[in-house]
Structure 1
Amino acid sequence: MSAATEPAVGRAAGQATGKGPAATGGTARNRSGGRLGRWLGNGAVQALLVVVGLVWITPLAGLLLSSLRSAQDTASSGWWTALARPGQLSFDNYTQLLGDAGITQAFWNTVLISVPATVLVIVLAALAGYAFAWLEFPGRDWIFLLVVALLVVPVQVGLLPVAKLFGQLGLFGTIPGVVLFHVAYGLPFAIFLLRNYFADIPREMLEAARMDGGSEWRIFTRLVLPVGRPAIASLAIFQFLWVWNDMLVALLFADSSSQPLTVALQSEVRQFGSSIDVLAPGAFLSLIVPVVVFFAFQRHFVQGVMAGSVK
């Protein structure tokens, strides 16, 4: 190669690798444009999220303010007037609500239904998900296919047959009956979610644990469960929210002594019509518990859903 061509090759190589003068200037401009684009993009996204957040939080704020106003104030003006006249706000509605034995019993019934239904689904689905992901047994793939097929079965299909079965077993109108129904219909999705998440665990990690003498139970409790914490947290949110906010199953399977808060509030509407001083604090009390649960597990939510729902 001649001496005249070497500088040209050097300049071309420098521009191709970003080390030449022209490439350096272009790279600087590209970086500045990239920063500006990212800043504008983030600003637009943040502004959009703020607007969406305000739209979603407005009904919640209205419900909260309505629950703190008297029935007379609510009937005479909108809830937003309390922002200018905070003297309307008091906790008398909550005091009256919590003094109602039926409402407080319904609240504790909701807790007694939601917590066991969530815990049982997580435990059973974690065991089944690990078995479907890493244990070899006859018919494993066909059984898992059957579990996935159960995802398309609507809840309404099983209401009457299960109600007849519970009547024969003496579970109709009891809290255990409602819990068992929620566990049965929550397991297919839970097994599908956790199995897909557990299947992404590197095989070498499990083989190393087996070579070190770890039993399947020890591997499951000490290795798989800690790694699967994001998916388990996501499942806990889904299951708890579904059971806590359910009214259809409770209307059919629960009686007056085992009805949850959703059914108790629905009966208040039927009896008193526009009793907003009872319904607003009851609805906010029913709403605040799932919100607390969601924020308690939110840092695991997105990671668990994205990893467990896509294989």
Structure 2
Amino acid sequence: MNAIAGQKPSLIWALRISVIVLVGLWLFPTLGLLVSSFRTGDQIATSGWWKALFPTEQNLTLRTAEPDAQVQEGDLWVIEGNLFEEGSKAKISAWGTNAREIDANGPGDTAELRDGSVLTVEEDGAYRLQSAEEMSGRRGPRVFATAVVPPEFTVENYETILISGGSTDNLARAFFNTLTVTIPATIIPILIAAFAAYALAWMEFPGRALLIATIVGLLVVPLQLALIPLLKFHNEIGIGKGYLGVWMAHTGFGLPLAIYLLRNYMIGIPRDIIENARVDGATDFQIFVRIILPLSFPALASFAIFQFLWTWNDLLVAMVFLIDATGETTVMTKQIVELLGTRGGNWEILATSAFVSIAVPLGVFFAMQKYLVRGLLAGSVK
């Protein structure tokens, strides 16, 4: 019966498998980023996020207590303690005092250091360092250990970037700066494009077809082509180094798609509704506000999703139009780039910063995704 209706089981299964694959390709990296944001730097460096729930073997660089902690026992000077933090359940399988021979000794073995002192390390990290002469120096000797570390999750990464971080690490201000840029840059083009789309769809005036063709042509104009001329123009009128300039830039770059998308949707609204409203004495503004806008909500929401995502994830426009040496208007994308450049291998900070950055766009997308397909398909069929 399915075959009679034109539905081929093989095509249906191919479609389902394709959807599952696409969802997996999108979901797994996001899940990995979330898991990594709660892991320590050592765990990220030594194992994948999919092993986060299992113990992992790590090569650790540890250090004994400083010489100030030594006590005299008869003719010996002794330092005792534990290489791990209190409460750690890590187990040492091999250790050494040289980075090239990290597996030279096993748990419970004793090794002689260059200064003549003797070091003993147990499986749980407990150590005893003793010397016939009083030990000196600012720091204790390093211990290179291979240890099996149980899974560990922490919120310190989020505390670092949102609460306790300094000017380099703190994303809280950048988060609100990004909201300050994104919300107006999403609302303004929607308002302008809605009026323009209604005029192009339902109002007759000379040059309408040429204007529509111009808007379609603007869809293929590269963003980079207009940055420098637009920045010069903004500087001449005094809005080139602040939020107003970046709002206008995002509005200008987003209007062609917004007008094109909304016009295609509005022109698909039954003409009888518009004509009946005009017969009842409604003006174009009343028709637009009371009829067109409520019926066009799916198209408005779909463009709002795209514009919000583009603006939130934007780096180029923000770096060009938000020129601020003090960092007061730094957005999240730029802040993450600075983290990558200054912190180098602190991947736990970068993973946390990236997930904080995508959390808001994900929330917006899931809240409005049911309107996305309806808005994108607007005008494609009659």
- TM-score category (smaller protein): 0.7 to 0.9
> How high is the TM-score relative to the length of structure 2?
0.69
Instruction: For residues 213-272 of structure 1, give each alpha carbon's deviation from its aligned partner in whole angstroms, at most 9, with x where no partner exists.
Output: 111111111111111111111111111111111111111111222121001101111112
Q: Which shifted more, 229-238 or 94-103?
A: 94-103
Structure 1 gaps of 5+ residues are 1-30
Shift of 1:185: 0.7
1:247 is aligned to: 315
**8 Å contact 1:194–1:308 — kept in the other structure?**
no
Quick one: distance in 1 between partners of 2:188 and 2:174?
Answer: 21
Shift of 1:304: 0.9
1:138-287 equivalences under 5 Å are 138-254=206-322, 255=324, 256-287=327-358
The residue identity in structure 2 corresponding to 1:47 is I
1:291 is aligned to: 362
2:23 is aligned to: 53
The residue identity in structure 2 corresponding to 1:77 is S
Structure 2 gaps of 5+ residues are 56-149
Query: How many equivalent pairs are there?
Result: 281
Q: Which shifted more, 125-134 or 266-275?
A: 266-275
Tell me whether 1:94 sits opposite 2:138 in the alignment. Answer: no
Instruction: For residues 106-148 of structure 1, give each alpha carbon's deviation from its aligned partner in whole angstroms, at most 9, with x where no partner exists.
Output: 1111111111111111111000000111112232222222222
1:78 is aligned to: 48
Quick one: distance in 2 between partners of 1:280 and 1:308?
Answer: 41
Quick one: distance in 1 between partners of 2:314 and 2:51?
Answer: 33
Tell me whether 1:111 sits opposite 2:81 in the alignment. Answer: no
**8 Å contact 1:196–1:310 — kept in the other structure?**
no
Aligned CA distance change for structure 1 residues 263 and 219 (closer, same or farther; 3 Å): same
Quick one: distance in 1 between partners of 2:330 and 2:218?
Answer: 27
Q: Which shifted more, 127-136 or 94-103?
A: 94-103
**8 Å contact 2:2–2:8 — kept in the other structure?**
no
More strand by share: 2
**Which of the two has higher C-alpha Rg?**
2
**8 Å contact 1:173–1:258 — kept in the other structure?**
no
Shift of 1:204: 1.5
Quick one: distance in 1 between partners of 2:53 and 2:39?
Answer: 11
Shift of 1:211: 0.6
Q: Secondary structure at the match of 1:89?
A: coil
More helix by share: 1
Instruction: For residues 38-82 of structure 1, give each alpha carbon's deviation from its aligned partner in whole angstroms, at most 9, with x where no partner exists.
Output: 555444432332233223211111111111111122223222221
Percent identity, aligned pairs only, is: 42
CA RMSD of aligned residues (A): 2.1
Q: Secondary structure at the match of 1:68?
A: coil
The residue identity in structure 1 corresponding to 2:335 is A
Quick one: distance in 2 between partners of 1:145 and 1:41?
Answer: 38
Shift of 1:191: 0.5
Shift of 1:306: 1.0
Shift of 1:299: 1.1
Q: Secondary structure at the match of 2:227?
A: helix
Q: Secondary structure at the match of 1:152?
A: coil
Quick one: distance in 2 between partners of 1:32 and 1:291?
Answer: 37
Quick one: distance in 2 between partners of 1:202 and 1:274?
Answer: 59
Aligned CA distance change for structure 1 residues 36 and 190 (closer, same or farther; 3 Å): closer
Quick one: distance in 2 between partners of 1:125 and 1:76?
Answer: 51
Q: Which has the higher contact order (CA 8 A, sep 6+)?
A: 1
Quick one: distance in 2 between partners of 1:310 and 1:252?
Answer: 40
Q: Which shifted more, 126-135 or 249-258?
A: 249-258
Quick one: distance in 1 between partners of 2:253 and 2:333?
Answer: 19
Q: Secondary structure at the match of 1:83?
A: coil
Quick one: distance in 1 between partners of 2:224 and 2:17?
Answer: 41
1:125 is aligned to: 193
Aligned CA distance change for structure 1 residues 288 and 131 (closer, same or farther; 3 Å): same
